[in-house]
């Protein structure tokens, strides 16, 4: 099912609980959970913060690992209810990436691979048949609030071609997304991640979500 997925990276820490309840009240069932290690990307973010709160609210995280040592980070989510775990394909060779996808599946989660805007997605064809989600980064990973990088459209086209081969593949896009991009890309993209636009407009999100439902016939 197509969805708009708020990125908790843009959550206002001073009113986090209030905003999480707002997300729940909007009927949102999944949020995007950005994990950064200070190695694969310069900043660090959270590891397991808010996960228990989300569980209580009946919201499932889609974990986006922007980390170098993927396996040791995957292990941190074993005891939490997590919908999916996505890691960056650039951090692994193909055989190792397949092992990690299998490991994520054994945890009962959907598995995804992600690529930066300048990475050629086609070099990971073999992985696209093994995983559930392909996360197309439309900014360079590491920070919220950046502008959409147009060259990401090349990977989006490649992901759409892969979906023709693997119809169950979920195409997720992340970075610089606002409602204009959602309107433009809704036929190709399944999951739209949005951080700064979502939280800036959280008080009006009910209307946007209604419009999104009409747009995507959800």
| Contacts of 34-39 spanning 24+ positions with Cβ under 8 A | 34/7, 34/8, 34/9, 34/64, 34/66, 34/195, 35/63, 35/64, 35/65, 35/66, 35/67, 35/73, 36/66, 36/67, 36/141, 36/142, 37/66, 37/67, 37/68, 37/69, 37/73, 39/67, 39/68, 39/69
Residue 45 touches ligand DX5, criterion: CB under 6 A: no
The verdict on whether 53 is a catalytic residue reads: no
Contact (Cβ atoms closer than 8 angstroms) between residue 138 and residue 149:
yes
Half-sphere exposure of residue 90, counting CA atoms within 13 Å on the CB side? Answer: 19
Cβ at position 95, least distance to Zn ion in Å: 25
- x/- string (CB under 6 A) for ligand DX5, residues 102-121? --------------------
Q: Which is nearer to ligand DX5, 62 or 92 (by Cβ)?
A: 62
45 binds, among Zn ion, ligand DX5, none (CB under 5 to 8 A by kind): none
Half-sphere exposure of residue 61, counting CA atoms within 13 Å on the CB side? Answer: 27
Q: Which of 37, 132, 174, 190 is catalytic?
A: 174
Q: 1, exposed or middle or buried, with CB in 10 Å at 0-12, 13-18, 19+?
A: exposed
Q: Which residues bind Zn ion (CB under 5 A)?
A: 34, 64, 174
Q: Match 């598995």 to its residue by tokens.
A: 111
Residue 19 touches ligand DX5, criterion: CB under 6 A: no
Contact (Cβ atoms closer than 8 angstroms) between residue 189 and residue 172:
yes
Q: Which of 14, 34, 75, 95 is catalytic?
A: 34
Cβ at position 214, least distance to Zn ion in Å: 26
The verdict on whether 174 is a catalytic residue reads: yes
Residue 176 touches ligand DX5, criterion: CB under 6 A: yes
Residue 6 touches ligand DX5, criterion: CB under 6 A: no
Q: Which helix (H) or strand (E) holds 86?
A: strand 84-88
131 binds, among ligand DX5, Zn ion, none (CB under 5 to 8 A by kind): none
Cβ at position 190, least distance to ligand DX5 in Å: 16
Q: Which is nearer to Zn ion, 42 or 129 (by Cβ)?
A: 42
84 binds, among Zn ion, ligand DX5, none (CB under 5 to 8 A by kind): none
Active site (catalytic) residues: 34, 174
Residues lying near ligand DX5 in the complex (CB under 6 A) are found at 7, 9-10, 32, 34, 64, 139, 141-146, 174-177, 193-197
């Amino acid at each position: 099912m197509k969805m708009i997925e708020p990125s908790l990276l843009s959550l206002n820490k001073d009113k986090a609980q209030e905003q999480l309840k707002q997300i729940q009240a909007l009927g949102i069932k999944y949020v995007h959970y950005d994990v950064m290690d200070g190695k694969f990307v310069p900043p660090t973010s959270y590891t397991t913060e808010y996960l228990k709160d989300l569980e209580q609210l009946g919201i499932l995280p889609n974990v986006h690992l922007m980390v170098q040592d993927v396996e040791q980070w995957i292990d941190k989510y074993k005891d939490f209810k997590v919908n999916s775990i996505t890691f960056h394909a650039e951090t692994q060779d193909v055989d190792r990436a397949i092992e990690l996808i299998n490991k994520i599946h054994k945890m009962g989660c959907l598995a995804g691979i992600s690529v930066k805007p300048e990475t050629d997605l086609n070099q990971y064809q073999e992985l696209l048949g093994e995983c559930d989600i392909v996360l197309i980064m439309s900014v360079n990973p590491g920070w919220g609030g950046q502008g959409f990088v147009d060259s990401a459209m090349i990977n989006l086209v490649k992901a759409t071609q892969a979906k023709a081969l693997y119809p169950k593949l979920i195409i997720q896009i992340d970075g610089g997304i606002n409602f204009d991009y959602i309107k433009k890309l809704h036929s190709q993209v399944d999951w739209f991640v949005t951080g700064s636009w979502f939280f800036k407009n959280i008080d009006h999100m009910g209307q946007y979500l209604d419009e999104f439902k009409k747009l995507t016939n959800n």
